[in-house]
Amino acid sequence: AQKVTQAQTEISVVEKEDVTLDCVYETRDTTYYLFWYKQPPSGELVFLIRRNSFDEQNEISGRYSWNFQKSTSSFNFTITASQVVDSAVYFCALILSGGGADGLTFGKGTHLIIQP
């Protein structure tokens, strides 16, 4: 069975600081996808990124960047120059390739608080 661990339950930083959210996963499969979702106070989870297990290139999208390292089974998420609007709960998730109806395995989430 798959498992996703987000050890940081809550992180609080001051606006404009950089912050990294950790994600460690476990799976015996070699083909899988990793995700980050954002859950703002309104409740809906918003898809941020999908990364397949064969692509270890880091990705940058504006102030967001993701560091995927298979050697440590980690898929960390960094927000540069954080803003108050980044305050949310962030979930890391995994699905096996061809995962079908099994769906995503989510971590418990990290509550990120950006203080003005």
Partner 1 sequence: ETGVTQTPRHLVMGMTNKKSLKCEQHLGHNAMYWYKQSAKKPLELMFVYNFKEQTENNSVPSRFSPECPNSSHLFLHLHTLQPEDSALYLCASSPKIEPNTGELFFGEGSRLTVL
Out of 1, 42, 71, 85, point to the residue binding partner 1 (CB under 8 A).
42
CB 79 → partner 1: shortest distance, Å? Answer: 21
End-to-end C-alpha distance for the chain, whole angstroms: 41
Contacts of 73 (CB under 8 A, 6+ apart): 24, 25, 26
Half-sphere exposure of 34 (CA within 13 A, CB side): 32
Cα Dmax for the chain: 43
Structure tokens at 16: 């404009």
Out of 4, 21, 88, 112, point to the residue binding partner 1 (CB under 8 A).
4
Q: Which is nearer to partner 1, 41 or 62 (CB)?
A: 41
Out of 62, 71, 85, 103, point to the residue binding partner 1 (CB under 8 A).
103
Q: Which is nearer to partner 1, 80 or 106 (CB)?
A: 106
| Contact residues: partner 1, CB under 8 A | 4, 9, 33, 35, 37, 42-47, 50, 91, 93, 95, 97-109
